[in-house]
Structure 1
Amino acid sequence: MSCEDEYESLPPTATVWVHLAAGAVAGVAEHCVMFPLDSVKTRLQSLCPCPETACKTPVHGVASIIKREGWLRPLRGVNAIAAGSMPAHALYFSVYEKTKQVLTGNTVGHGNTLAYGVSGIVATMCHDLVMNPAEVVKQRMQMMYSPYGSSVECARCIYKVEGVSAFYRSYSTQLIMNVPFQAVHFMGYEFWQHFLNPEHKYDPTSHLISGGMAGGLAAAVTTPLDCVKTVLNTQQTPEIQCRSVLLKATSSYRGITEAVVSIYNHRGMAGFTAGIQARVLYQVPATALSWSVYEFFKFLLSSKGDAVALV
């Protein structure tokens, strides 16, 4: 059997740890490399006023944050998302591969597009259970007037004052957003792989292009829901006393409907596309890198496993 055949037959022959390891590395690569753009996106989508709204491009937004708040400010919260993305993406890719195997019978082809989408949805539901708390901490840290000294302090304060429910306040929105996002993402990836890599072998260029195109499309389509999620994640109760720091927040939203109404009242329909440029610019290289890293480590680890088995 050729190396390409071994790679394509990975799901039934490789152990789960291959997908876990490859997914964990891919998750860190996806979320951390383009993190400064994500910080700009969070500020643009929150209802708190910030100077970044006057910036022409997301890159100018990053420069604005650095100029006013220092070089490290655009990276605040990156450790929280890195810690959350490793187990979340390990579970994410593992569930995707195994679900895809069950639904397709380990066959490849254009006719399996729906199966790829369903696999992505199942993987997303598992992923978000782990990732949502990390997203809440990350976005609280990214805010302009965030008073927290570290992600650990932020998580502790949220739990102490608002309870565990605060970490999952946006979970339903996250799912509503991520289900179509990942369905479009995975179907798009497999669709472009069908044309760019019809033999379904390890091909870095096709993985990079397919991942970027799929991620960019999915990001653009789901930006309105991402705006709602950001508003829910960045809200805080009117007065929160934590480590002698008094936080004064605006409104408190109990669910999706209230967040939607508030966004519309503050910014109109344009409020639901806030940060779309930053979100797409973040997702294109992030998902391209994520798929590239995942496919590389999947290929590398499976090849090593086969070599050990032969010995």
Structure 2
Amino acid sequence: MFPVDTLNTRMQAITSSCKTPAITLRQSLGSIMKLEGLGGFYRDIDATGLGAGPALAVYFSVYETCKKFHPDADCVKRVMVEEEIGALYASYRTTVVMNVPFTAVHFAIYEAAKRGLMEVSRESGCYWDDDGTFLVHTTAGAVAGVLAAVAAIAAITPLLDIVKTNCNAR
């Protein structure tokens, strides 16, 4: 999916940053192939992979641990039988409202941290290409993840969790 995400991101960036009409999928695909070759579709995958590995390791470790306490894993089936499919989406709107601010803060902090790291690296005599390197991306991502999580935990998440819990209880 990384090449598809790359296309999507590039199309959005060009359309939002320039006062030009939206470009087509074919134009974006052709541009990346012409200017960067096939590797352009996988640019920055190293940073994504580095972050995804530990995150998924923790995620699946918790998942496997929880399965020991609920070996039958029949929750979805029971909800479908007892409450119908709508119960699976009872807090969908609230979940979206919780995730959109977090994601916005996360990306804003990431971009600011990346710019700051690039500036510091240039001033110190180290030269990285315009988009940075693996170290810049991972450091900026880690800083952004921590600060966005702290902001979400401190300001947004508790309030929305209360709303979600109260809506689900009814």
Q: In structure 2, which of residues 68, 79, 83 is the aligned counterpart of residue 158 of structure 1? A: 79
Read off the aligned partner of 2:95 and give its amino acid letter: Q
TM-score (normalised: structure 2): 0.51
- In structure 2, what is the Cα distance between the partners aligned to 1:205 and 1:31? 21
Q: Percent identity?
A: 28
- Residues 207, 180 of structure 1: alpha-carbon distance in 2 compared, 3 angstrom cutoff: closer
SS at match of 1:177: helix
Read off the aligned partner of 1:153 and give its amino acid letter: D
Unaligned stretches of 5+ residues in structure 1: 1-9, 37-71, 80-147, 236-251, 254-311
How many residue pairs match? The answer is: 117
* Counterpart for residue 193 of structure 1: 114
- In structure 2, what is the Cα distance between the partners aligned to 1:25 and 1:156? 30
- In structure 2, what is the Cα distance between the partners aligned to 1:227 and 1:163? 24
Read off the aligned partner of 2:148 and give its amino acid letter: A
- In structure 2, what is the Cα distance between the partners aligned to 1:169 and 1:211? 28
- Equivalence map 1:21-40=2 (5 Å): 22=49, 25=53, 28-29=56-57, 31=59
* Counterpart for residue 153 of structure 2: 219
Unaligned stretches of 5+ residues in structure 2: 1-8, 11-31, 33-39, 120-127
Q: Does 1:229 align with 2:150?
A: no
* Counterpart for residue 134 of structure 2: 202
- In structure 2, what is the Cα distance between the partners aligned to 1:32 and 1:230? 25
- Equivalence map 1:282-293=2 (5 Å): none
Read off the aligned partner of 2:88 and give its amino acid letter: F
- In structure 2, what is the Cα distance between the partners aligned to 1:31 and 1:228? 25
Read off the aligned partner of 1:189 and give its amino acid letter: Y
SS at match of 2:134: coil
Read off the aligned partner of 2:84 and give its amino acid letter: G
Higher relative contact order (CA 8 A, sep 6+): 1
- In structure 2, what is the Cα distance between the partners aligned to 1:207 and 1:230? 30
* Counterpart for residue 181 of structure 1: 102
- Residues 184, 178 of structure 1: alpha-carbon distance in 2 compared, 3 angstrom cutoff: same
- Equivalence map 1:50-199=2 (5 Å): 75-76=65-66, 149-150=70-71, 152-198=73-119, 199=128
- For the aligned residues, what is the CA RMSD? 3.8
- In structure 1, what is the Cα distance between the partners aligned to 2:100 and 2:57? 22
- In structure 2, what is the Cα distance between the partners aligned to 1:230 and 1:151? 25
- Residues 28, 154 of structure 1: alpha-carbon distance in 2 compared, 3 angstrom cutoff: same
SS at match of 1:152: coil
- In structure 2, what is the Cα distance between the partners aligned to 1:211 and 1:166? 31
Are the aligned partners of 1:189 and 1:214 in contact in 2 as well (CA < 8 Å)?
no
Structure holding more helix per residue: 2
- In structure 2, what is the Cα distance between the partners aligned to 1:151 and 1:188? 41
- Residues 17-36 of structure 1 show CA distances to partners (whole Å, capped at 9, x for unaligned) of x59x8486465246457x59
- In structure 2, what is the Cα distance between the partners aligned to 1:174 and 1:228? 10
* Counterpart for residue 41 of structure 2: 14
- Residues 25-78 of structure 1 show CA distances to partners (whole Å, capped at 9, x for unaligned) of 465246457x59xxxxxxxxxxxxxxxxxxxxxxxxxxxxxxxxxxx9xx426x
SS at match of 1:190: helix
TM-score (normalised: structure 1): 0.31
Read off the aligned partner of 2:70 and give its amino acid letter: G
Q: How far is the alpha carbon of 1:153 from its aligned partner?
A: 0.8
